């Protein structure tokens, strides 16, 4: 298994509170991604990173920010959580941008009340 | 994102049966991939296809990259209970900065 750890794995929070999800990898892969998974929508890209301090927006980036200060860590922040951000969040890593071969973490289930 | 239409949405089959699912798009992709997700886990890559017309096998799984580059199919032969899960197709091209576009998944249930 690729060394990817997501934390927390489960979180319940209230609308308006800030939330940070962490993804940690031990594979030294250059590229890291945050996806959200919702019934009827499949997996949608939120943000991705192509190096330390280098990030870009994905399809559903509104309401989310990311940071990558070290190769191994990629943080996803919801500045002010809303109920529409209730979802399962997956981190993924890859060592190439154009092969599509991603290794996914186990997911973080976030519930916003 | 570029929309991928995956069918069927769900399948309920008996152990030993063959399974076929497909994915179509209005966009051309340079890469087609198939992932499997089991309950409580992240998706795992099954097969990656990089060339139009390519047919690739991984054990009992066979996938093809359509000639038009707008479709792909996945076959599972002689299904077993551990094949249960959600199967996702994904396409990639340079138009979206190489971001993967995922289908909505095919849920497979296999009864012993």
pLDDT at position A1 over 60: no
pLDDT band at B99 (very low <50, low <70, confident <90, very high): confident
pLDDT tens digits along B26-62: 999 999 999 999 999 999 999 999 999 999 999 999 9
Instruction: Give the Å distances, CA to CA, from B11 to B16, B71, B108.
Output: 14, 20, 5
**Cα dihedral A67→A69→A72→A77 (10° resolution):** -20
pLDDT tens digits along A90-107: 999 999 877 889 999 999
- How many other C-beta atoms are found inside a 10 Å radius of the C-beta of residue A42? 21
- Are B88 and A42 a contacting pair at CB < 8 A? yes
Q: What angle do CA B45, A8, B37 make, to 5 degrees?
A: 20
Q: Return d(Cα B95, Cα B16) in angstroms, integer.
A: 40
Q: What is the structure's pLDDT at B10?
A: 95
Q: What is the structure's pLDDT at B3?
A: 83
Region B65-85 average pLDDT: 96
Alpha helix ranges (H) inside B10-102: none
- Are B45 and A103 a contacting pair at CB < 8 A? yes
State the smallest CA–CA distance between residue A87 and chain B in angstroms: 13
Q: What is the structure's pLDDT at A99?
A: 83
When CB atoms are compared, the residue of A40, A48, A90 closest to B42 is A90
Q: Quote the percentage of chain B above a pLDDT of 70.
A: 96
Q: Return d(Cα A49, Cα B73) in angstroms, integer.
A: 30
By mean pLDDT, which of A57-61, B23-27, B90-94 is the weakest? Answer: B90-94
Interface mutation vs chain B, best among A29, A43, A92, A102, most B CBs within 10 Å: A43
- Are B99 and A58 a contacting pair at CB < 8 A? yes
Residue B50 makes CB contacts below 8 A (sequence gap 6+) with A99, B30, B31, B65
pLDDT at position B5 over 90: yes
Q: What is the structure's pLDDT at B1?
A: 64
pLDDT band at A2 (very low <50, low <70, confident <90, very high): low
Q: What is the structure's pLDDT at B28?
A: 92
pLDDT band at A88 (very low <50, low <70, confident <90, very high): very high
């Amino acid at each position: 298994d690729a060394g990817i750890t997501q934390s927390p794995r489960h979180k319940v929070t209230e609308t308006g509170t800030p939330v940070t999800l962490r993804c940690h990898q031990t594979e030294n892969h250059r590229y890291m991604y945050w996806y959200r998974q919702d019934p009827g929508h499949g997996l949608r890209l939120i943000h991705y990173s192509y190096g330390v301090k280098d990030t870009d927006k994905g399809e559903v980036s509104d309401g989310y920010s990311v940071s990558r200060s070290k190769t191994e860590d990629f943080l996803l922040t919801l500045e002010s959580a809303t109920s529409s951000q209730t979802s399962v969040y997956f981190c993924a890593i890859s060592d190439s941008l154009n092969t599509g071969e991603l290794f996914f973490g186990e997911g973080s289930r976030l519930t916003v009340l | 994102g570029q929309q991928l239409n995956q069918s069927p949405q769900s399948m309920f089959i008996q152990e030993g049966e063959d399974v076929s699912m497909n994915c179509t798009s209005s966009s051309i992709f340079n890469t087609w991939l198939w992932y499997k997700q089991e309950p409580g886990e992240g998706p795992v890559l099954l097969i990656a296809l990089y060339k139009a017309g390519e047919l690739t096998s991984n054990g009992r799984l066979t996938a093809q990259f359509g000639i038009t580059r707008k479709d792909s199919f996945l076959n599972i032969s002689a299904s077993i209970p551990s094949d249960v899960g959600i199967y996702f197709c994904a396409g990639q091209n340079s138009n979206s900065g190489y971001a993967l576009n995922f289908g909505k998944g095919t849920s497979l249930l296999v009864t012993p």
